Amino acid sequence: MAIFAIFRAAANPEKAAPMSAYMRNQFSFLGIPTPERRKLSRDFLKAMSKKAIRN
């Protein structure tokens, strides 16, 4: 599973709107707070490193 799919699954449109507004609507956001996004990234990278070791 790609990291983008994991992020899309964790997306929160209710939080995305204020995040985008904060940046003057110049960027689109998924609405994932940084601590949660870091955890998702860390878990993904651990899973990928284990997969690489097996191969």
The residue extents of the domains of the chain are: 3-54
Over 1-40, what HEC string results? Answer: CCHHHHHHHCCCHHHHHHHHHHCCCCCCCCCCCHHHHHHH
Contact 32, 11 (CB under 8 A): yes
DSSP letter, residue 47? H
Residue-wise pLDDT tens digits, 8-31: 999 999 999 999 999 999 999 999
Residue-wise pLDDT tens digits, 36-55: 999 999 999 999 998 877 76
Contact 11, 31 (CB under 8 A): yes
